[in-house]
């Protein structure tokens, strides 16, 4: 559905080219996104996330390489089918009211009878009560919700969210997750791309995550792979006589964590195996303080991909 | 979309209405008293109000179209507009056409109500609308071009072109009165007359109409000039990346 082949993007016009001062933003990105996928895009500041998104919307053209969305050039696709898009900084004329803005967007979306759709979209983002309020009088989070509402107009197959949690409070961050899940569930051929620095949110929202760094695609992390494998666990026990020996006896191969002699990493085969071994441990009189699954978080994998010094949440791409 | 755009333009339309009142007060043909002789045909002939109509239509285009592309580019409004299934060329084309229609409507209302107020009767017919139609096309084309090219100040740039052209026109007239030529080579004079908006061509067309000869060549040149900038604006809009 979305196909990028060796996409290169350099900024700077003919004068910059003559002076060899062109700034590379993407340096040969190849990517395939199949229908039914929610793909996250992460990377440090200046990694090329926003450039990639603007190319996918057809606002920028690649310097080299090819891009297609649904078999069409990105601009042609957007003009024909539309893309549900929430920009990084929602820019909506401040003098417009919420309702007027939605009517304009509905008109651009070629919706003949927009009343019901506008109402449904505004209700979904909790702005129905503020229909008459000017955009200038909305908080940052409300403006973000209005941008989300306009993206929900029309029946689109592609959604692009650029830092969608910007300005949203925790309640609306969770709502956004629900909105994306509902949108995705309504049609099984839909694709959503989510660029964000919020790695924990991406982990909840997406299936795969493309890691960009310095304009290159470093890795695609498949968050579904291994999701069903039974993870290793960390077990912490009270300091009682022979507690450590008992853990080792019940969980063959238990490894004490460095610097924490009463915390062990264990690898049970499945939930039944874990329960049985824990039962044995309790029967030996050991007091268990904590049992927690160990999963490699997206943040850990991301840091492994781009390095600790460049990772993190600060700033924007 | 048209209704929504009209609502968006409501304050600008109010400015156009106020401007029309100003033009009514300034139009010399509406305030002639008996006994005034030796007047230029643009003043003495009732058809001379075509020039005021042209200025009103041109100014209306500047007001209605100010920042219509450059503002969207600068502020980033286009990002949400054109993620919906809308062609930028069609969107801005409709806005331009609407501004053009409103400018001509303003000129037509001025033509009818101005005459009725000043003279109590209609002395000039629809022929007076040729000049405003071309002037609006010329300045609408220039604003569209500047709006695709510049990040801001498109209408001011077009106004600057108008002022320069008028200055050039007055300079030519002054030299003609003195019986000399401007201290420029004929090629440069021709070049400047070709680059500047065709005020002189419209004046020639008006005088040809008064004299009863065909003004078609002058009118075609003026229309071609406006269409050239409009087409260039369309080409730029189609080919330029969005920031």
pLDDT digits (tens, 9 = 90+) for B50-99: 888 999 999 999 999 999 999 999 999 999 999 999 999 999 999 999 99
Picking from B7, B84, B95, B237 by the largest number of A CB atoms within 10 A of its own CB, the best residue to mutate is B84
> Which residues pair with residue A209 across a beta bridge?
A40, A221
Across the range B87-112, mean pLDDT stands at 95
**What's the pLDDT at B41?**
58
Q: B88-119 vs B10-26: helix axis angle to the nearest 10? A: 40
Picking from A59, A153, A159 by the largest number of B CB atoms within 10 A of its own CB, the best residue to mutate is A59
Cα gap B143→B139, rounded to integer Å: 6
Q: In this model, does residue A135 exceed pLDDT 50?
A: yes
**What's the pLDDT at A160?**
96
Task: Write out chain A residues lying below 8 Å of B76, CB-based.
Answer: 87, 89, 91
Across the range A36-49, mean pLDDT stands at 91
Cα gap A22→A215, rounded to integer Å: 14
B112 or A13: which leads in pLDDT: B112
Task: Write out chain A residues lying below 8 Å of B241, CB-based.
Answer: 59-61
Contacts with A285 (C-beta within 8 Å, 6 or more apart), sequence order: A240, A246
Which of A59, A89, A105 shows the shortest C-beta gap to B242?
Answer: A59
**What's the pLDDT at A177?**
92
Is B152 strand, coil or helix? coil
B81 or B121: which leads in pLDDT: B81
Q: In this model, does residue A24 exceed pLDDT 50?
A: yes
Asked whether the CA dihedral A183, A187, A193, A199 is positive or negative, the reply is positive
Q: Which range among A176-180, B31-35, B74-78, B136-140 shows the weakest confidence by mean pLDDT? A: B31-35
Closest approach of B241 to chain A, Cα-based (Å): 5
Task: Write out chain A residues lying below 8 Å of B1, CB-based.
Answer: 104, 107-108
**What's the pLDDT at A312?**
41
Give the number of domains in chain B. 1
Res. A298 pLDDT band, cuts 50 70 90: confident
Across the range A181-210, mean pLDDT stands at 91
**What's the pLDDT at A317?**
29
Q: In this model, does residue A314 exceed pLDDT 50?
A: no
Task: Assess A79–B contact: CB distance below 8 Å, yes or no.
Answer: yes
Cα gap A221→A40, rounded to integer Å: 9
> Which residues pair with residue A219 across a beta bridge?
A211
Which of B75, B84, B86 shows the shortest C-beta gap to A91?
Answer: B75
Inter-chain contact B80–A147, Cβ cutoff 8 Å?
A: yes
Instruction: For chain B, give the percent of residues with pLDDT over 70.
Output: 94
Cα gap A184→A192, rounded to integer Å: 8
Which of B77, B83, B85 shows the shortest C-beta gap to A80?
Answer: B85
Res. A151 pLDDT band, cuts 50 70 90: very high
- Residue B34 in any domain: the answer is no
- Asked if residues A143 and A95 have their Cβ atoms less than 8 Å apart, the reply is no
Cα gap B145→B163, rounded to integer Å: 18
Which of B84, B85, B241 shows the shortest C-beta gap to A61?
Answer: B241
- Residue B33 in any domain: the answer is no
Which H helix or E strand runs over A160? strand A158-162
Q: In this model, does residue A62 exceed pLDDT 60?
A: yes
**Residue B221 — left, alpha, or beta (φ > 0 → left; ψ -120 to 50 → alpha)?**
alpha
Domain range enclosing B188? 2-28+39-239
Phi, psi (deg, nearest 5) at residue A29: -95, 125
Cα gap B117→B29, rounded to integer Å: 12
Which of B7, B83, B91 shows the shortest C-beta gap to A78?
Answer: B83
Task: Write out chain A residues lying below 8 Å of B80, CB-based.
Answer: 85, 87, 90-92, 105, 147, 150
Q: In this model, does residue B35 exceed pLDDT 80?
A: no
A104 or B183: which leads in pLDDT: A104
pLDDT digits (tens, 9 = 90+) for B214-239: 788 888 999 999 999 999 999 999 99
- Residue B217 in any domain: the answer is yes
Task: Write out chain A residues lying below 8 Å of B237, CB-based.
Answer: none
- Asked if residues A289 and A236 have their Cβ atoms less than 8 Å apart, the reply is yes
Q: In this model, does residue A143 exceed pLDDT 60?
A: yes
Task: Assess A11–B contact: CB distance below 8 Å, yes or no.
Answer: no
Across the range B125-148, mean pLDDT stands at 93
Answer CATH for A2-222 from 3.40.50.300, 3.30.200.210, 3.40.50.12500, 3.40.50.1970: 3.40.50.300
**What's the pLDDT at A276?**
93
Which of B76, B86, B241 shows the shortest C-beta gap to A108?
Answer: B86
Residues 107 through 136 of chain A touching chain B, CB cutoff 8 Å:
107-110
Number of A/B CB contacts below 8 angstroms equals 73
Phi, psi (deg, nearest 5) at residue B149: -90, -40
Across the range A181-206, mean pLDDT stands at 91
Across the range B158-187, mean pLDDT stands at 87
- Asked if residues A141 and A29 have their Cβ atoms less than 8 Å apart, the reply is no
Q: In this model, does residue A136 exceed pLDDT 90?
A: yes
Across the range B114-124, mean pLDDT stands at 87
Res. A311 pLDDT band, cuts 50 70 90: very low
- Asked if residues B8 and B85 have their Cβ atoms less than 8 Å apart, the reply is no
**What's the pLDDT at B42?**
57
Task: Write out chain B residues lying below 8 Å of A316, CB-based.
Answer: none
**What's the pLDDT at A293?**
84
Q: Rg (Cα) of chain B, in Å, rounded?
A: 19
Which sequence spans correspond to the domains of chain A? 2-222, 233-293
Closest approach of B110 to chain A, Cα-based (Å): 30
Contacts with A151 (C-beta within 8 Å, 6 or more apart), sequence order: A84, A85, A86, A159, A161, B83
List residues of B whose CB lies inside 8 A of any A CB: 1, 4, 7, 75-87, 91, 241-242
């Amino acid at each position: 559905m979305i196909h990028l082949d060796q996409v290169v993007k350099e900024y700077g016009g003919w004068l910059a080219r003559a002076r060899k001062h062109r700034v590379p933003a993407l340096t040969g990105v190849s990517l395939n996104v199949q229908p039914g996928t929610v793909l996250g895009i992460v990377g440090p500041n200046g990694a090329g996330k926003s450039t990639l998104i603007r190319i996918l919307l057809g606002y920028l053209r690649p310097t080299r390489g090819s891009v297609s969305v649904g078999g069409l050039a990105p601009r042609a696709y957007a003009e024909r089918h539309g893309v549900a898009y929430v920009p990084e900084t929602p820019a909506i004329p401040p003098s417009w009211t919420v309702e007027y803005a939605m009517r304009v967007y509905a008109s651009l979306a070629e919706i003949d009878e927009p009343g019901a759709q506008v109402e449904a979209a505004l209700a979904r983002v909790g702005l129905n009560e503020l229909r008459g309020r000017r955009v200038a009088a909305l908080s940052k989070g409300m403006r973000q919700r209005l941008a989300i509402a306009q993206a929900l107009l029309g029946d689109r197959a592609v959604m692009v969210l650029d830092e969608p949690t910007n300005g949203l409070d925790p309640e609306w961050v969770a709502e956004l997750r629900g909105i994306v899940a509902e949108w995705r569930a309504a049609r099984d051929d839909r694709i959503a791309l989510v660029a964000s620095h919020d790695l924990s949110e991406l982990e909840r929202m997406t299936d795969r995550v493309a890691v960009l760094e310095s304009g290159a695609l470093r890795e695609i992390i498949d968050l579904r792979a291994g999701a069903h494998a039974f993870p290793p666990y960390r077990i912490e026990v009270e300091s009682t006589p022979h507690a450590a020996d008992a853990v080792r006896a019940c969980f063959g191969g238990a490894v004490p964590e460095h610097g924490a002699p009463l915390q062990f990493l264990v690898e049970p085969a499945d939930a039944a195996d874990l329960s049985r071994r824990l039962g044995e441990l309790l029967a030996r009189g050991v007091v268990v303080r904590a049992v927690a699954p160990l999963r490699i978080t997206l943040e850990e994998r991301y840091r492994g991909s781009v390095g600790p010094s460049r990772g993190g949440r600060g700033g924007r791409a | 979309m048209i209704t929504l755009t009209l609502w968006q333009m409501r304050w600008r339309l109010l400015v156009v209405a106020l401007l029309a009142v100003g033009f009514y007060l300034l139009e010399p043909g509406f305030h002639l008293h008996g006994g005034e002789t030796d007047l230029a045909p643009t003043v003495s002939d009732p058809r001379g109000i075509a020039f005021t109509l042209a200025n009103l239509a041109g100014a209306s285009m500047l007001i209605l179209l100010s920042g219509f592309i450059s503002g969207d580019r600068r502020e980033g409004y286009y990002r949400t507009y054109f993620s919906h299934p809308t062609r930028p060329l069609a969107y801005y084309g409709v806005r331009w056409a609407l501004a053009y229609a409103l400018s001509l409507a303003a000129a037509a209302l001025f033509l009818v109500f101005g005459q009725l107020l000043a003279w109590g009767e209609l002395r000039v017919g629809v022929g007076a609308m040729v000049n405003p139609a071309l002037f609006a096309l010329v300045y609408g084309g220039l604003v569209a071009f500047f709006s695709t090219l510049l990040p801001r100040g498109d209408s001011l740039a077009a106004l600057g072109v108008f002022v320069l052209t008028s200055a050039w026109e007055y300079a030519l007239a002054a030299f003609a009165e003195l019986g000399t030529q401007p201290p420029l080579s004929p090629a440069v004079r021709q070049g400047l007359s070709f680059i500047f908006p065709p005020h002189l061509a419209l004046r020639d067309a008006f005088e040809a109409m008064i004299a009863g000869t065909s003004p078609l060549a002058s009118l075609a040149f003026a229309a071609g000039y406006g269409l050239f900038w409009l087409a260039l604006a369309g080409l730029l809009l189609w080919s330029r990346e969005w920031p």
